[in-house]
Amino acid sequence: MKKMVLGIGEVVLDKVHILSSFPEEGKKIHASHEQLTLGGPVPAALVLLARLGVECSLVASVATDEAGAVIKAILEKEGIHLIAQKREKTPVHTVLVNGQTGSRTIIKDRMARNTMHTISRELVQSADIILCDRHEPEAVQDALYNKKSTTSALMDPSVDCTSTTIQLLKQMDFPIIPIETVQVLFPKESIKSGVKKLSLLLGKLIVVTMGKYGSAVYENGEYTVHPSFSVKVVDTLGAGDIFRGGFGYGVLQGWDVHRCAQFANSVAALQCTKMGNSTAIPTKLEVISFQKSAVHLPSSISII
């Protein structure tokens, strides 16, 4: 029987402008290339999972406007079933990309968050994994209450450290935390010590994404670093989102947490070899090919 992942989170439309260089203040400049892409950590992770052959559904707030129509078309093309909850306007972010350095400046659409309505119990019960972000805590809490006991929950908290997010992380089967969050919560500790304290705070194993250093797993008092892979980095945008999608794929296969982290490292590294967010997400054939030739970077345990 085909596995199903239920995503709950924010979805936005990114208007990306690739520039020859970053403009000086007060100057005019033409973009060398423009594109509309899917934004949001959960949708990005779902695109990877769908490309790997997983059935995916996304519950998100989308308006019946032009931006919403573009988002729906992208999701439909990727084979992701959208359960749209209404909002007045779909958020659109403007992204300026410096073509010389790959750096990004993101101008976010300031919009009030809609409180998402309850998700149907039938939909929640059909999920083998629930993948969520921090943007819809009420809906996530409701889904956690109604999910099957065999359903695993993964969360992308971004760098949010509010008490609401911490309480949700305590209910996750696999809290996947950015290294920046560990540094914010425990600024006077080493990364290893901070990870240990965060694991004690949440009362469970944790996985930490660490950019070019790969990822770390803290489980049963053991701290294990899984190094990243050697690739020519073009753009790191979305690598953390793709890591969570790759980790979720491993969970669906029944892999242990270390193999899940290693696979997630590989697809996140592959994501960094192209420019873009959702436009850079690897295909199944690209993932299979990379697995055959991927080379780990040297471990940097002494640094972290």
List the CATH number of the domain containing 76: 3.40.1190.20
Compute how many other C-beta atoms are within 10 angstroms of the C-beta atom of residue 186. Answer: 17
Predicted local confidence at residue 194, as pLDDT: 93
User: 167 lies in which domain range?
Assistant: 4-20+34-293
Check: CB of residue 4 under 8 Å from CB of residue 58: no
Q: Is residue 303 part of a domain?
A: no
Q: Is residue 29 part of a domain?
A: no
> Residue 302, class by beta-carbon neighbours within 10 Å (0-12 exposed, 13-18 middle, 19+ buried)?
exposed
- Give, in degrees to the nearest 5, the angle at Cα 151 between 149 and 152: 115
Q: Is residue 25 part of a domain?
A: no
State the Cα–Cα distance between residues 45 and 38, nearest whole angstrom.
11
Predicted local confidence at residue 246, as pLDDT: 97
Indicate the pairing of strand 4-8 with strand 129-133: parallel
Predicted local confidence at residue 300, as pLDDT: 53
State the Cα–Cα distance between residues 259 and 282, nearest whole angstrom.
19
State the Cα–Cα distance between residues 284 and 180, nearest whole angstrom.
30
Residue recorded with tokens 């779909």? 90
Predicted local confidence at residue 261, as pLDDT: 96
> Residue 149, class by beta-carbon neighbours within 10 Å (0-12 exposed, 13-18 middle, 19+ buried)?
exposed
The amino acid occupying position 174 is F
b/e code 18-27 from CB counts within 10 Å (16+ = b): bbeeeeeeee
Q: Is residue 191 part of a domain?
A: yes
State the Cα–Cα distance between residues 214 and 223, nearest whole angstrom.
13
Q: pLDDT by residue for the chain (304 residues), tens digit each?
A: 688 999 999 999 988 887 887 777 877 887 777 788 888 999 999 999 999 999 999 999 999 999 999 999 999 999 999 998 888 888 888 888 777 776 778 888 876 666 676 789 999 999 999 999 998 899 999 999 999 999 999 998 888 888 999 999 999 999 999 999 999 999 999 989 999 999 999 999 999 999 889 999 999 999 999 999 888 887 787 889 999 999 999 999 999 999 999 999 999 999 988 877 777 899 999 999 988 887 777 765 444 5
Convert the chain into a string of H (helix), E (strand) and C (coil).
CCCEEEEECCCEEEEEEEECCCCCCCCCCCCCEEEEEEECHHHHHHHHHHHCCCEEEEEEECCCCHHHHHHHHHHHHHCEEEEEECCCCCCEEEEEEECCCCCEEEECCCCCCCCCCCCCHHHHHCCCEEEEECCCHHHHHHHHHHCCCCCEEEEECCCCCCHHHHHHHCCCCEEEEEHHHHHHHCCCCCHHHHHHHHHHHHCCCEEEECHHHCEEEEECCEEEEECCECCCCCCCCCHHHHHHHHHHHHHHHCCCHHHHHHHHHHHHHHHCCCCCCHHHCCCHHHHHHHHHHCCECCCCCCCC
Number of domains in the chain: 1
Q: Is residue 230 part of a domain?
A: yes
Q: Is residue 82 part of a domain?
A: yes
| Closest by Cα among 246, 252, 251 to 215 | 246
Q: Which two tokens stand for residue 172?
A: 């996750």
Q: Is residue 254 part of a domain?
A: yes
Q: Is residue 124 part of a domain?
A: yes
- CA 261, distance to chain mean position in Å, is 14
